[in-house]
Structure 1
């Protein structure tokens, strides 16, 4: 692995080359002009921002027509395709295309958000927490966040989130327009979206058609009319072209302390890696036993495989000695600047040491927290529904600032949508998942652990799981609605076994959460905020904040890289896809592609690699040219990009996208999606 660049110098100088996940209010327009001779105007930035969309489940998207058509990745809406499928119509296998507008199908779980305004609320949050530390700091911070969000959210169509930037150096209020009627217009076959499977995942050359189209519908049951959308480019991106990516990178950790990175490497990641590896093995074995089990498991298994490979790549990056060596040097440089400034020295006194002590406290707590509160011990949709209902009954009657963050007024629309979604829940898979979780609880905490006894009693894990799934009525949306609207009285009167389990374990789960939120989280937040303010004071604000699943913009070029003495070209072609076809999974092109062979010229670009600085969450981001036209659709990165969690390495870090020209031609000539193609070409320029 090439030596990774220093992580901690993000504020020392403007980011080098294409590095940077920039907020829209601080995009380095002058740097782009100096490097590429193009300076985006404010109108250009505003239009791209308002054309960008966040899918609340963890992906990005964009409006690509004035009639609410939204472009994203297939893997971002895979759960929707799964929810709309059945044994009789497996849309993951066959793909889906709504030939007419009326045939578009509503996605039960998909919410789309459009960022409309950003307001700095740093002073207000800092005033609310002034002089506080520990649990008092955390309580005051969350209460003020909830108050600000409730003041902003004027109705269910508005979503407001207080966003932490620079690890508490700044806070901003992001105001979104919320859309909950989102319908599926097109999705290819799962095998084509994920062509190459786990073997090709995070690799390049790639030949994945990981694209899908949704449509936002308004409150009157009509396609949303939107002023801001991205036109399609008549000519696709070529090697060397300047391109921009607007999306929602999930999380980076480029500004963490050395102690925090070592904790991730030595404690948090190993536990998660083992858990995911075991879960993958369990799901693979289950999926292999029947076609129906394969159908209901395929989407979730792919998500687990993707998460495992991504986490393994990040762990390998942290294990690279040069990464932490550079980080230690950057931290030492900051410490030196702090020591040289009496005011900074006074305000940050003991901050690094406090973070290290908090991590020592967290070390024996992490596994317990993950298993009891974070879902590792109850990996089940039905249990998650039961827990939400139990906690909603307790939390919603409280004053807004006193609630758990996920039950505040601003989160209620998403809470209701999640609880009342009309989506199938495979019973057999629920038994398997619950059994797995119960076994993890018992083998990790021990058979004599009081919490394990509370969960299992004298039952065997599989027997309890089967009894819970067989006895629960939470498959029925009407039952869930009655419990949600009936509140605490209805929940306490319920004899549903899944509700009873959620009630039985809730006190102990809340207790471990409270310990974390009182002894670990506030120390990391408070002292992280102090160090962030020190960086800002020492280096200025020429850098960018770590990713927080908020809208960011970056720029780059279409470019390959050198790997093992050979040059990796930045473009693949349709001819290459057919050459890669073996007739066997995961390198089997679906029948639609084989029947259409030759319909798309072989030299047509298919996938493209660029130097854009992206991370998980950017999936579904539009790639646009200097005219703001679509030239690609981000869906992955290469293996080197996984280290982008901690550092951007311009020599090898690459984003991977479906090429805009290839995407349009496949829609037209392979899938016969003429209605969508006409809609996209109507705005082509």
Structure 2
């Protein structure tokens, strides 16, 4: 892997160079785009693009592509919905899905779309409220003020969500107001074999030949398709090498603004621990899949996520253990601290911030095992339902400003939507996951730890997991509703073994969470604000914030790169997809593609790469041109982009996308998806009969 150059993101200070940056919509460098590409996005253009974009579920991106609520995202983003709607007899993951009529569109059991409709800067309000405070007082006050702002923003509307977003590690705060769509229905999904063609060997690689797409539809409260006047029209020509591109999506979390102490923790402890755990989970799930075809089907989405996370984490760790790269991060921090210490006023205000963060990181090292295992160690769908019910009973009885984050009035509608999800529960998989989780808790904390004794008693992890999963009735949505509405009294009276387990461990989880929030999170947040303010004072405000899982816009162009001395062309052709077909997974094309090969135009662009700056979470983002037309669909980054969590190098970091023409060619000639085609390109008139495979 080619290592990153010294660029703005490494320094975490100077204005971004080249095509770098995941920019907020209220601080987009339009003039810089004009300087390099000759096009300056207007405010109207930015507003339209923002409103045509949507967050997909908890960790992906999507976009409206018709005036009637049709939404485009990745197949791998919608896998949860597709698998939840599947059965042993109707496996939509393996065989694909196409609703030939609106009536055939199937509602996703646990999916929500969020459209960012308004951004308000609330930095001054929060800074005024927390001025002079530290530790617990700072944490409590900040949490309370955020809850007040979010509650005032939602005004009790069930289809609105408001979140205070922390930017620049606390240097700025924005209040984001979202329109929520909770009725989302599956319209089209191809077979897994083409959506993830090449499988894990090709993941984060290029050249690629994937059709990683799914279309869903947002519905309004009246049960009719939502009207979406702000949507992306489809380009007539697609995109070619050198063309300007924009990516609007929800990148996860980057760590480009972290201090050296925080990066040292990730390098030495956080990422290695994550790698070990993901590797073990992969082994557990692989063993589970070997039990039979149904076990393989119900756990395929879990394995996909684990393998994807494992490869991504490896790339991040490789970046941080590179000595030259890390030395650059150290030098950048030393440069900033030297500038701060050279000014007496700045030194008095900011000088201790880095040391305070380092002390908080050391405190976290000492509590990591308990925090990760007691508060976050239980890996079970039913356990998290139970814990949500237990905590909701406590939190909803408190004043809004005193509740745990996530249980505030502004967040309750989303929480309730997840809690009452119709997603199927697979007891055998639940037992395997919870057994593994309990085994790891005992391994990490030790058999003599008080918490381990409290949880397991005389039982083994397997026997406890089997007992509570088989004995629980929480798969029943009516019971969940009764317990949720019944509050504390209903929870305390419940004999459900999973509720009892969640109630048993909740005091311990709350205690270690409180310690973490006060001794680690509050200290890091407060001092990160000071570091950010020092950067603003030294280098100015023309910089972008780290990604936070919220909507951002990046710009770039279609461009190849050099790897191992060889030139990598920026666009692949659909015809070459068949050259990679071996007939064996993961290079086995579905029957629908083999049957349609003679009808497909081999020269149709299939996948392409751009210099847009993205990170995990951008999956499902539209790639658009200067006319705000769809020219592609982001589904991956190349292997060099994995280090993008900590820095960006335009010479090799690449976004990987499905070409818009490949999507049209496949919908028309492989899947005969007339209804979808007509929405994307009104006036399309496919002439071939509908494919029998979907």
TM-score by length of 1: 0.98
Out of 328, 338, 341, the residue aligned to residue 339 of structure 1 is 341
| Aligned pairs, number | 682
| Contact 2:636–2:655 (Cα < 8 Å) also in 1 | yes
CA distance in 1, matches of 2:10, 2:267: 21
The SS at the match of 1:501 is: helix
Q: CA deviation at 1:598?
A: 2.1
| Contact 1:68–1:215 (Cα < 8 Å) also in 2 | yes
For 1:282-301, list aligned pairs within 5 A: 282-301=284-303
1:157 is aligned to 159
CA distance in 1, matches of 2:340, 2:3: 27
CA distance in 1, matches of 2:81, 2:467: 28
Q: CA deviation at 1:342?
A: 2.4
| Contact 1:632–1:659 (Cα < 8 Å) also in 2 | yes
For 1:412-561, list aligned pairs within 5 A: 412-561=412-561
Q: CA deviation at 1:421?
A: 0.8
Q: Deviations along 1:461-503, whole A, 9 cap, x unmatched?
A: 1111111111000011111010001111000000000000001
| Contact 1:10–1:543 (Cα < 8 Å) also in 2 | no
CA distance in 2, matches of 1:552, 1:470: 44
1:16 is aligned to 17
The SS at the match of 1:365 is: helix
1:587 aligns with 2:587: yes
Distance 1:603 1:8, change over 3 A: closer
CA distance in 2, matches of 1:279, 1:76: 20
CA distance in 2, matches of 1:488, 1:540: 51
CA distance in 2, matches of 1:4, 1:284: 35
| Contact 1:562–1:568 (Cα < 8 Å) also in 2 | yes
| Contact 2:12–2:257 (Cα < 8 Å) also in 1 | no
CA distance in 1, matches of 2:596, 2:180: 39
CA distance in 1, matches of 2:561, 2:343: 42
Distance 1:312 1:419, change over 3 A: same
For 1:250-265, list aligned pairs within 5 A: 250-265=252-267
Q: Alignment RMSD, CA only? A: 1.1
| Contact 1:232–1:683 (Cα < 8 Å) also in 2 | no
The SS at the match of 2:469 is: helix
CA distance in 2, matches of 1:20, 1:594: 41
The SS at the match of 1:582 is: coil
For 1:103-252, list aligned pairs within 5 A: 103-154=104-155, 155-252=157-254
1:384 is aligned to 384
Moved over 3 A (4+): 6-13
Q: Deviations along 1:164-218, whole A, 9 cap, x unmatched?
A: 0111110010111111011110111122111111100000111111100010011
For 1:296-311, list aligned pairs within 5 A: 296-311=298-313
CA distance in 1, matches of 2:58, 2:520: 27
CA distance in 2, matches of 1:659, 1:121: 39
CA distance in 2, matches of 1:8, 1:426: 44
The SS at the match of 1:469 is: helix
1:562 is aligned to 562
Q: Deviations along 1:303-350, whole A, 9 cap, x unmatched?
A: 010011101110001111122111111111111221222222111131
1:395 is aligned to 395
2:69 is aligned to 68
The SS at the match of 2:597 is: coil
| Contact 1:8–1:330 (Cα < 8 Å) also in 2 | no
CA distance in 2, matches of 1:546, 1:578: 40
The SS at the match of 1:204 is: coil
CA distance in 2, matches of 1:426, 1:466: 12
For 1:50-89, list aligned pairs within 5 A: 50-89=51-90
CA distance in 2, matches of 1:472, 1:26: 50
Q: CA deviation at 1:9?
A: 5.8
2:92 is aligned to 91
The SS at the match of 1:366 is: helix
Out of 359, 362, 366, the residue aligned to residue 360 of structure 1 is 362
Structure 1 stretches lacking a partner, 5+ long? none
| Contact 1:129–1:141 (Cα < 8 Å) also in 2 | yes
Q: CA deviation at 1:3?
A: 4.0
CA distance in 1, matches of 2:325, 2:410: 39
| Contact 1:65–1:683 (Cα < 8 Å) also in 2 | no
CA distance in 2, matches of 1:104, 1:676: 12
Q: CA deviation at 1:12?
A: 4.4
Q: CA deviation at 1:8?
A: 5.5
The SS at the match of 2:76 is: coil
Structure 1, 25-34 or 144-153: larger mean CA deviation: 25-34
Q: Deviations along 1:197-254, whole A, 9 cap, x unmatched?
A: 1100000111111100010011111111111000000001101111100011111110
CA distance in 2, matches of 1:612, 1:309: 21
1:278 aligns with 2:276: no
2:316 is aligned to 314
2:352 is aligned to 350
The SS at the match of 1:364 is: helix
| Contact 1:255–1:546 (Cα < 8 Å) also in 2 | yes
| Contact 2:9–2:646 (Cα < 8 Å) also in 1 | no
CA distance in 2, matches of 1:397, 1:382: 23
CA distance in 2, matches of 1:470, 1:427: 7
CA distance in 2, matches of 1:417, 1:256: 34
| Contact 1:72–1:212 (Cα < 8 Å) also in 2 | yes
| Contact 2:235–2:629 (Cα < 8 Å) also in 1 | yes
| Contact 2:10–2:328 (Cα < 8 Å) also in 1 | no
The SS at the match of 2:158 is: coil
Q: CA deviation at 1:5?
A: 2.9
| Contact 1:11–1:536 (Cα < 8 Å) also in 2 | no
Structure 2 stretches lacking a partner, 5+ long? 685-694
CA distance in 2, matches of 1:666, 1:60: 22
| Contact 2:599–2:669 (Cα < 8 Å) also in 1 | yes
Q: CA deviation at 1:14?
A: 2.8
TM-score by length of 2: 0.97
Q: CA deviation at 1:550?
A: 1.1
Q: Deviations along 1:589-644, whole A, 9 cap, x unmatched?
A: 01111111122211111111111000001000000011110000000000100000
CA distance in 2, matches of 1:592, 1:493: 54
